[in-house]
Amino acid sequence: MTILSLSNLSKSYGRDCALDAVDLEVTAGERVALLGHNGAGKSTLMKLVLGLIDRTQGEISVAGHAPGSPVARALTAYLPENVAFHPALTGREQIRHFLRLRGANPREADALLEKVGLADAARRRIGTYSKGMRQRVGLAQALIGSPRLMVLDEPTSGLDPVSRREFYALLDELAATGTAILLSSHALSEVEARTDRIVILSKGRKVSEGTLGDLRAEAALPLTVSLRARKGFEAEVARAFPEAQGSGALLVLTCPQGAKLETMTRITDAAEAIEDFDVVPASLDDIYAHISRRAA
Amino acid sequence: MFTRILSTARLEFAIALRNRWVAIAIAMMALFSLVLSMAGSAPTGTLGADRLSVTVASLTSLSVYLVPLIALLISFDAVAGEVERGTLPLHLAYPISRGELLLGKLLAQLCVVALAVTLGFALAAGVAWMSGGAEVLTGLPALFRLIWTSVLLGAVFLSLGHAMSSLSRRPSGAAGLAIGLWLVAIVLYDLGLLAAVVADDGGAFTTRVFPWLLVANPADAFRIFNLAASDAVGAASGLAGAAHAIAAWKPLASLIAWPVAAALLARLAFGRVQP
Ligand SMILES: Nc1ncnc2c1ncn2[C@@H]1O[C@H](COP(=O)(O)OP(=O)(O)OP(=O)(O)O)[C@@H](O)[C@H]1O
Ligand SMILES: [Mg+2]
């Protein structure tokens, strides 16, 4: 079931186009990551989905409701980027307030804060919290109730690696119960195993969409093969792989996706002369950089 | 709806307490009331007024300046502060309407104003009672009237403060606008009217337009209503004649209409704020 659907969505600030004709659908239980460099339009897209800003053009539907309508707001949880709270309030007071606004029982505040690891700091003022702790308060409020749609703008910024893993585990639980999740991030490597689909924005346009495998195939970046020649066989290896770079025992060559098997055969043929070899596919961040650069 | 408004009000009141706004407002009202009631307890040559009515008359003049000032001080940060702290986007993403959010803030800040005027005036009344004895009781209705009209006046300027806060979107700008509004509405307006009346020298302006202009300003309506509604207070202020020239329902209507109008204005201005 489609929870969030955007069609031909655009947003301009004066003459600058922050978002340009973006189409996107997120279904129940799906985790979609929004990637893009600074100023690509990720936060703009999310604010449009929440109805915080008005669109210039296009359609948005949140489970069939207009963005920003009371029903849509009740169905949606939001974690803004650089989430902030009034420093004079305690974490507990703030979460209790948010629970009341959603018509939930304020007593659930302690359980929520415990879930994000803030049980000990719950009675302290948010002004005394660290950056990561404030981010956790933000996460706690996004977990209130059982939202149909979660919109999380750079949810893991400020979290340490262990907390990040815990956070994605929480998301997995929610997705399993049918929550549609749209989150933004700067690192493809971080979201790779944790999302079902990746959408890459560049200068306000959607330049790519798909699973990690799809993106890998689309970028078609060559693999890197490194070879170490046996002592005394350096010249022989260099002759067998004339395209390889490097000197002495260590040689490096690139291999297009389609030529993997062929290269393997050549390595096997020269097995006598080769002591060791490594095949490294293009890194996720290489793929990401390639796709967003190609679009620019 | 009421849960959301009340919850917002509760939170805002906690914030006001911790920001010391409650303490500052109460201290200001108490200090000035005390000074005035001390001064008022000197013999006045009695004009048919009991001690408390004399005090209420001077408290009325004080409140005209102080209540709007306190209200604007408490409220100018309401929207601009949230914009600056970055808390507004999240609040507006919750299932609470902008009107409910403003009402919650207004309610909390109105409690602060009510607390400050009640405590301040009670203090002044206590001083008058100590020096005037039991006859002071005749002035009690005037004191109650002063309290609830002060709360209405406070509501007007709280909402106007919210409007300034929404229009400027930056706390420093909002503070400037609030002070400007106070100067214009409380000080310059009266000076302007006075100058016009003097220049007009008893002409059509003074008899036809002037009373309406006086009533149209919530602060003047507040002053006139309090002076006109009680003979003793009017006598003590020496303004009975002027105040009685205007029927009491007019300033009262103005005092009731203004909080509503100002709240609508604030809601309109807040509606234009995009987080
Ligand atoms: N209120 C505004 N007025 C004018 N331009 C704006 C406004 N808000 C955003 N923009 C522009 O819209 C574009 C997209 O901004 P957005 O905040 O969506 O980027 P982002 O992808 O979230 O970037 P980041 O990764 O840095 O958070 C930027 O060029 C930005 O300058
Ligand atoms: Mg952003």
Contact A97 B89 (CB under 8 A): no
Please list the helix, strand and coil fractions of chain A in percent, rounded to the nearest 5, in that order: 40, 30, 30
User: Count of alpha carbons within 13 Å of B104, Cβ hemisphere only?
Assistant: 25
Write down the pLDDT at residue B237. 61
Fold of A2-210: Rossmann fold (3.40.50)
Task: Provide the 3-class DSSP secondary structure of residue A144.
Answer: coil
Question: B10 contacts in A (CB within 8 Å)?
Answer: 97
> ipTM surpassing 0.90, yes or no?
no
Segment B257-264 shows an average pLDDT of 96
- Mind listing the pLDDT tens digit for each residue in B2-56? 899 999 999 999 999 998 889 999 999 999 888 887 776 555 544 556 677 778 8
* pLDDT higher than 70, residue A11: yes
Nearest-angstrom CA–CA distance, B186 and B192: 11
Q: How close does chain B come to A101, measured CA to CA in Å?
A: 5
Q: A94: nearest CA in chain B?
A: B11
The predicted model scores a pTM of 0.88
Smallest Cα distance from B53 to chain A, Å: 42
Q: Is the pLDDT of residue B71 over 50?
A: yes
Contact B275 A84 (CB under 8 A): no
* pLDDT for res A6: 94
Q: Do the domains A2-210 and A221-282 sit in the same CATH topology, yes or no?
A: no
pLDDT tens digits for A122-135? Answer: 999 999 999 999 99
Give the residue ranges of DSSP H helices in chain A: 42-50, 70-75, 91-101, 109-115, 131-142, 161-176, 188-191, 212-219, 234-240, 260-269, 284-295
Among candidate residues A64, A286, A49, the one with its CA nearest the CA of residue A189: A286
Taking the CA of residue A204 as reference, the ligand 1 atom at the shortest distance is 14
The model's pLDDT over B189-204, given as tens digits with 9 standing for 90+, comes to: 988 888 888 888 777 7
Report the range out of A189-193, A229-233, A244-248, B166-170 with the highest average pLDDT.
Answer: B166-170
Q: What is the pLDDT of residues B145-174, one digit of tens each?
A: 999 999 999 999 999 999 999 999 899 999
- Reading phi first (left if > 0) and then psi (alpha if -120 to 50, else beta), residue A287 is in alpha
Q: Taking 70 as the threshold, does the pLDDT of residue B236 lie above it?
A: no
Domain ranges of chain B: 2-271
**Confidence at residue B242, expressed as pLDDT on a 0 to 100 scale:** 56
Q: For ligand 1, atom 8, name the residue with the nearest CA.
A: A44
- Confidence band of B117 (pLDDT split at 50, 70, 90): very high
CA of residue A38 to ligand 1 center, whole Å? 8
Question: What DSSP designation does A222 have?
Answer: P
Helices and strands, counts by H and E, chain B? 15, 0
| CATH of the domain spanning A221-282, picked from 1.10.340.70, 3.30.70.920, 1.20.1080.10, 3.40.50.300 | 3.30.70.920
At A2, which helix (H) or strand (E)? strand A2-13
Nearest-by-Cβ selection for A100 from B7, B93, B274 = B7
Beta-carbon count within 10 A of B106 CB: 26
Distance CA B147, CA A269 (A): 99
**Predicted confidence band at A218 (pLDDT cuts at 50, 70, 90)?**
confident
Which of A12, A89, A97, A150 should one mutate to test binding to chain B, selecting the residue with the greatest count of B CBs within 10 A? A97
What is the token pair recorded at B36? 């005035």
- CA distances B49 to B34, B66, B135, B142, B240, Å, are 19, 24, 10, 12, 12
The shortest C-alpha distance from B180 to chain A (Å) reads 27
With the C-alpha atoms ordered A248, A250, A254, A258, is the resulting torsion angle positive or negative?
A: positive
* Chain A residues with a Cβ under 8 Å from any Cβ in chain B: 47, 50, 52-54, 70, 73-74, 76, 78, 80, 82-86, 88-89, 93-94, 97-98, 100-103, 138, 141
Contact status of B1 with chain A (Cβ, < 8 Å): no
Distance CA B211, CA B198 (A): 14
Q: What is the pLDDT of residue A258?
A: 82
Q: Which helix (H) or strand (E) holds A17?
A: strand A16-27
Angle between helices B21-40 and B2-18 (to 10 degrees): 70
pLDDT of B45 reads 47
Residue A16 carries which DSSP code?
A: E
pLDDT of residue B274: 86
For chain A, what are the domain ranges? 2-210, 221-282
Q: Are strands A197-202 and A180-185 parallel, antiparallel or unpaired?
A: unpaired
Q: Are A73 and B92 in contact (CB under 8 A)?
A: no
CA of A123 to the centre of ligand 1 (A): 35
